[in-house]
Chain A
Amino acid sequence: MPYKIDYLDGEVLEWSLTKEGVTCEHITDYTPSLYISAPSHDDLVDVRGFVTRLTEVVQTELEEWRTGWRHTPETVLRIDVDDIADVTSVASDLRGWDVPGTYKCYNVDFSREFRYCLETDTDPTPARTPSTLRIDASESELARGDGIRSLTVGDDSIEGSPAAVAETVASRVATVDPDVLVLSASSIVPKLFEAAPCNCNEYRLGRRPGYQRLAGQSTYESYGNVGHSPARYNLPGRAIVDESNTFLWHEANLSGLLDMVTRSRKPLQEAAWASIGNLLTAIQICEARQQDVLTPWNSWRHEQFKSANQLHEADRGGFIFSPDVGLHEDVHELDFSSLYPNIIVTRNLSPETVRCECHAEREDVPGLGYAVCEDPGYLPDVLRPLIEDRDAIKAEIRETDAPERRHELEGKSEAIKWILVSCFGYQGFSNAKFGRIECHEAINAYAREILLDAKAILESNGWRVVHGIVDSIWVTPMEGETQTPLPNIASDISERVGIRFEYEGEFDWVAFVPLRTEESGALTKYFGARADATDGESRYKFRGIEVRQRSTPPFVAETQKELVETLDHHRTPEAVCDVLQRRLTELRRSAVDPQELVVDNRVSKRRDAYSRATRNAAALERAAADGIEKYPGESLAYVVTDDEKRSRERVTLAHETPKTYDAAFYADLLVRAAESVVSPLGWRESDIREYLSEQTDTSLVRFC
């Protein structure tokens, strides 16, 4: 079973791991295939005549395939091309050949290694755990015009002229001979090759000389987030994991990554750089292939007409029961387990079952009246094993004592969790190959109904709902009522709904935070103290407040935790403000290590797109002056040194080891973090400032 596929000199190289090392097989006769459908057989014959004259085309064949999940097989034209790079260009030619939409192309935009595995029915799961070697070069080293002079390989740091560094890295890599190179950034590859003392054609970091560039850098938008994908490089015989461009490596681990390799049939390197959406699509493409369904290049399938009333209903979004702002004692949390995936599975929701033609008269979906087909859909088939496997993995985690096994299992569980969490959003995402908005709406409508039913049952059993969102409900005992024990209610609801409703935990108290400027509660901002925290588990749970926000400096985050602890012990805003006062004093005395004040932000637009002088803009400018160009989606770490300034003097970048900071700016952040903690008790920023000013040391005041 190969774990790495290379396209090299007109051949495919299959690299397989063995106990002793690695083997390489040369495949000389592989030709990638795309497919094309046409309104009539005559049209297909026409286009075949045109296609066979294209120099890139090796062979064509009329074959029977299905062009959609519920379609009967039809005759389509299979087109085999000479080179992997020809697939898209041939498809583009064909699409423009007649009026748009006449010829539709399938199986076009697959990634290289995945395509090979799919078409040759190859499982890319490595036969043993691959060995890894990490190469880390700092951003400022990579920004140097004249090559890398310092980096680390494994545990060793290497320094010298760029040529010497390149030579040492190559010999180190050759000695270790890792299956996977983990790079802090993939641009290390071309940098080393450029600096190599020998001819570029001889220099090697892979298991053959040379390297390939697979894709240029680009900025993309996905689910409304701007991201940056750096250029991608390939080394023959080794897989690359680019730490600046991998989701699974960070969110799961190698075991989780390998689990996804098996499920998605994307070999390790491609699975590492894939987004969750990519992986979900790959899993569905595999399922489609098994059922003789081709994957459309562009989705021409549109949603069906629905009334403005139905659309209005469908747009209402998920279940939300606004939090009852304040601090509540004796709170219990209950969650539906993997609610959305389980709705898909138990309600048979799938792009081809929702509003199916064969059962148009049915009105299954609550509130929307959409039909759901009686025949099984493919999406439940795809998700069921994921849900079941994750349940089994979680059960094993509870049983196992071996830390290594636990680590492995947790990686797998995390990887699957991300797929399950994303499958609902994916259905509503307009560009998802197998997504469908009506399926997304149906899932949402069921979820609402399920949560509303659960709420009603809880209330009729003596429990008051203080907050509910998406798949979770928080309750507290209703005064003057007797309460049915929650485990009993939970199992009753589980049975009725057909989805496990789990007792998640007990809190001594939970505080729901209001919006900064209004009385109403922010939907996902709360913190609380667990009553049942076990050893090694944190007593406190935080959601949405500063300590959970990525950009919050460590000092502010730590202080906020301390404030929550204080609230836990004293339950008064005054006690919290006293602690705040002490931290403000430290700030003013420049007693805080600037590294503890690093703001870690994500770049949202390119440097030249900033029209206002923001802190991010200043930091980007500063980085650029240092030769570091940052792209949207990349992280940007800095300390605010003088917030009054509008120039790049406003900030100092984290890697410049800042010595000073703007105390007033950070004092503001601290006060805001404190406001989140005391606002459930009715104190706002003005109350905090008033209290602080009443304290003896008046010199503090101007800092907050």
Chain B
Amino acid sequence: MHSTGTREDVPELPQLTAGVTLVEVDEQAIAPIQALVLDHLLLTEATPTARWIDVFDHIQTRSLSKLAPSRPILDRIQVARAFTPFQHFALVEDLAAEIASGGETPLVVAPALDGLYREPDGNLSSQQASTLLVRAVAKLAGIARRHDVPVVLTRTRDDEFSAPIARAANSVIEVTDTRYGPRFASDEFETLVYPVGNGMIQTTLAFWQRVLEARQPIHAIDSSGHEPTMEVAHGTN
């Protein structure tokens, strides 16, 4: 068992910066995204809240709440779910308008951004669906650009249809499973999140729980769930 709390043992997660970040994950894994979001929130001031535009129940509140080092942090993730491409598009539009009119947010997350547009209903042609997706991507990129907000996106597949998402990204983080644990790779860094256990691939909830737990001493959350002022040096980045 690793001892936690010493600097060397702290797993390294890439820090999210302003701009559009496309996270390419294997098999639609959502735990790495959840870990990035929680980590980012732990590093920012207690208010305001992140915005998560959800599809296909990627938010997985059950695992998210197990992953979170404290319940109050979950009050700082605001979720709205879309079930049709129309609802998704309207959500993106309304969020952009709200932030433009002064609503603050430290982070916007839109997993599987292309997902709903791929299976249009209500007689929406695939051409129209593709146009809607392109405009949704543009809106999200606009939020990142105008308000200096990190916007985290994932896509369900790497193909022609989702290419607009890749084109809009300022940076790409690739998350791959290795036999030592997940590896985050981008132009600026390459990080192995520390291997828990004996070198087996660990993408399970328990694994991410321990990653965040291991980082928690730095964030030093007290029992009331309050985070003291930051005095934290962060990973390699």
Query: CB-CB < 8 A to B49: which residues of A?
Result: 307
Contact partner of A309 among B74, B122, B135, CB < 8 A? B74
- The answer to the question of B196 belonging to the interface, with a C-beta cut-off of 8 Å to chain A, is no
- The answer to the question of A312 belonging to the interface, with a C-beta cut-off of 8 Å to chain B, is yes
- The answer to the question of A500 belonging to the interface, with a C-beta cut-off of 8 Å to chain B, is no
Query: CB-CB < 8 A to B59: which residues of A?
Result: 308, 311
- The answer to the question of B178 belonging to the interface, with a C-beta cut-off of 8 Å to chain A, is no
Give A299 to B124 CA distance when docked, in angstroms.
12
- The answer to the question of B219 belonging to the interface, with a C-beta cut-off of 8 Å to chain A, is no
Closest to B64 in A: A308
Q: Give the number of residues in A that approach B within 8 Å (Cβ atoms).
A: 28
Q: Is the CB of A306 within 8 A of B93?
A: no
- The answer to the question of B28 belonging to the interface, with a C-beta cut-off of 8 Å to chain A, is no
Contact partner of A308 among B79, B123, B125, B128, CB < 8 A? B79
Closest to B61 in A: A312
How far does the Cβ of A54 sit from chain B's closest Cβ, in whole Å? 17
Interface string of B72-93 (1 = CB under 8 A from A): 0011111111111011111101
Contact partner of B87 among A300, A309, A315, CB < 8 A? A300
Q: Is the CB of B84 within 8 A of A303?
A: no
Query: CB-CB < 8 A to A312: which residues of B?
Result: 61-62, 64-65, 74
Query: CB-CB < 8 A to A437: which residues of B?
Result: 81, 83
Q: Is the CB of A297 within 8 A of B74?
A: no
How far does the Cβ of B125 sit from chain A's closest Cβ, in whole Å? 7
Q: Is the CB of A100 within 8 A of B83?
A: no
- The answer to the question of B132 belonging to the interface, with a C-beta cut-off of 8 Å to chain A, is yes
Q: Is the CB of B65 within 8 A of A308?
A: yes
- The answer to the question of B51 belonging to the interface, with a C-beta cut-off of 8 Å to chain A, is yes
Q: Is the CB of A315 within 8 A of B90?
A: no
- The answer to the question of A402 belonging to the interface, with a C-beta cut-off of 8 Å to chain B, is no
**Stretch in contact with the other chain, from A63-71, A91-99, A410-418, A466-474:** A91-99
Q: Is the CB of A99 within 8 A of B131?
A: yes
Q: Is the CB of B128 within 8 A of A95?
A: yes
How far does the Cβ of B45 sit from chain A's closest Cβ, in whole Å? 17
Interface hits, B46-67 → A, CB 8 Å? 49, 51-52, 59, 61-62, 64-65
Query: CB-CB < 8 A to B127: which residues of A?
Result: 96
Contact partner of A302 among B71, B94, B128, B131, CB < 8 A? B94
Contact partner of A88 among B90, B121, B123, CB < 8 A? B123
How far does the Cβ of A312 sit from chain B's closest Cβ, in whole Å? 4
Q: Is the CB of A100 within 8 A of B80?
A: no
Interface hits, A421-452 → B, CB 8 Å? 430-431, 437
- The answer to the question of A698 belonging to the interface, with a C-beta cut-off of 8 Å to chain B, is no
Interface hits, B23-57 → A, CB 8 Å? 49, 51-52
- The answer to the question of A611 belonging to the interface, with a C-beta cut-off of 8 Å to chain B, is no
Query: CB-CB < 8 A to A209: which residues of B?
Result: none
How far does the Cβ of B96 sit from chain A's closest Cβ, in whole Å? 13
Q: Is the CB of B75 within 8 A of A299?
A: no
Give A101 to B88 CA distance when docked, in angstroms.
12
Give A124 to B28 CA distance when docked, in angstroms.
51
Query: CB-CB < 8 A to B81: which residues of A?
Result: 303, 437
Q: Is the CB of B86 within 8 A of A308?
A: no
Give the interface centre of B51, B59, B86, B91 by most chain A CB atoms within 10 Å: B86
Give A309 to B79 CA distance when docked, in angstroms.
10
Q: Is the CB of B80 within 8 A of A305?
A: yes
Query: CB-CB < 8 A to B82: which residues of A?
Result: 302
Interface hits, A496-534 → B, CB 8 Å? none
Give A99 to B87 CA distance when docked, in angstroms.
15
Q: Is the CB of B90 within 8 A of A300?
A: yes
Q: Is the CB of B62 within 8 A of A315?
A: yes
- The answer to the question of A298 belonging to the interface, with a C-beta cut-off of 8 Å to chain B, is yes
Interface string of A288-304 (1 = CB under 8 A from B): 00000000011111111
Give the interface centre of A109, A306, A312 by most chain B CB atoms within 10 Å: A312
How far does the Cβ of B33 sit from chain A's closest Cβ, in whole Å? 13
Give A100 to B71 CA distance when docked, in angstroms.
39
Q: Give the number of residues in B that approach A within 8 Å (Cβ atoms).
A: 38
Give A466 to B82 CA distance when docked, in angstroms.
39
Contact partner of A304 among B80, B86, B89, CB < 8 A? B80
Closest to B75 in A: A307
Give A303 to B84 CA distance when docked, in angstroms.
11
Query: CB-CB < 8 A to A91: which residues of B?
Result: 123
Give A630 to B235 CA distance when docked, in angstroms.
59
Give the interface centre of A96, A305, A315 by most chain B CB atoms within 10 Å: A305
Q: Is the CB of B75 within 8 A of A309?
A: yes
Interface hits, A280-336 → B, CB 8 Å? 297-309, 311-312, 315
How far does the Cβ of B164 sit from chain A's closest Cβ, in whole Å? 14
Q: Is the CB of A306 within 8 A of B78?
A: yes
How far does the Cβ of B104 sit from chain A's closest Cβ, in whole Å? 14
Give A303 to B90 CA distance when docked, in angstroms.
10
Q: Is the CB of B77 within 8 A of A303?
A: no
Query: CB-CB < 8 A to A92: which residues of B?
Result: 123, 125
Interface string of A231-253 (1 = CB under 8 A from B): 00000000000000000000000
Query: CB-CB < 8 A to A305: which residues of B?
Result: 51, 78-80
Give A301 to B80 CA distance when docked, in angstroms.
12
Q: Is the CB of B128 within 8 A of A96?
A: yes
Give A312 to B61 CA distance when docked, in angstroms.
5
A311-B79 contact, Cβ under 8 Å, with A95-B128, A431-B121: yes
Closest to B88 in A: A302
Contact partner of B78 among A100, A299, A307, A315, CB < 8 A? A307
Give A695 to B152 CA distance when docked, in angstroms.
68
A315-B124 contact, Cβ under 8 Å, with A305-B79, A306-B79, A308-B74: no
Q: Is the CB of A100 within 8 A of B131?
A: yes
How far does the Cβ of A91 sit from chain B's closest Cβ, in whole Å? 8
Query: CB-CB < 8 A to A101: which residues of B?
Result: 86, 89-90, 93, 132
Interface hits, B84-142 → A, CB 8 Å? 84, 86-91, 93-94, 121-125, 127-128, 131-132, 135
Give A99 to B132 CA distance when docked, in angstroms.
8
Give A298 to B84 CA distance when docked, in angstroms.
9
Q: Is the CB of B87 within 8 A of A301?
A: yes
Give A302 to B93 CA distance when docked, in angstroms.
11
Query: CB-CB < 8 A to A95: which residues of B?
Result: 124, 128
Give A100 to B128 CA distance when docked, in angstroms.
7
Query: CB-CB < 8 A to B90: which residues of A?
Result: 101, 300-302
Give A308 to B123 CA distance when docked, in angstroms.
33
Closest to B54 in A: A311
Give the interface centre of A301, A302, A315, A437 by most chain B CB atoms within 10 Å: A302
Give A309 to B52 CA distance when docked, in angstroms.
13
Query: CB-CB < 8 A to A315: which residues of B?
Result: 61-62
Give A298 to B59 CA distance when docked, in angstroms.
25
Closest to B94 in A: A302
Query: CB-CB < 8 A to B124: which residues of A?
Result: 95, 298
Q: Is the CB of B135 within 8 A of A308?
A: no
Give A454 to B94 CA distance when docked, in angstroms.
41
Give A307 to B124 CA distance when docked, in angstroms.
31
Give the interface centre of A92, A306, A308, A315 by most chain B CB atoms within 10 Å: A308
How far does the Cβ of B91 sit from chain A's closest Cβ, in whole Å? 5
How far does the Cβ of B26 sit from chain A's closest Cβ, in whole Å? 23
Give A100 to B89 CA distance when docked, in angstroms.
9
Query: CB-CB < 8 A to A309: which residues of B?
Result: 65, 71, 74-75
Contact partner of A299 among B61, B86, B123, B125, CB < 8 A? B86
Interface residues of A (CB under 8 A from B): 88, 91-92, 95-96, 99-101, 109, 297-309, 311-312, 315, 430-431, 437
> What are some 26 contacts across the A-B interface (CB < 8 A)?
A88-B123, A91-B123, A99-B131, A99-B135, A100-B135, A101-B86, A101-B132, A297-B122, A298-B84, A298-B86, A298-B122, A300-B89, A302-B91, A305-B51, A305-B80, A307-B76, A308-B65, A308-B75, A309-B65, A309-B71, A311-B79, A312-B65, A315-B61, A315-B62, A431-B83, A437-B83
Told that A100-B128, A303-B80, A305-B79 touch, could you supply 9 new A-B pairs with CB distance under 8 A?
Answer: A96-B127, A299-B86, A306-B80, A307-B74, A308-B59, A309-B65, A312-B65, A315-B61, A315-B62
Top 10 closest pairs, chain A to chain B, by CB: A430-B83, A312-B61, A302-B87, A305-B78, A308-B74, A308-B77, A309-B74, A300-B90, A305-B80, A302-B91
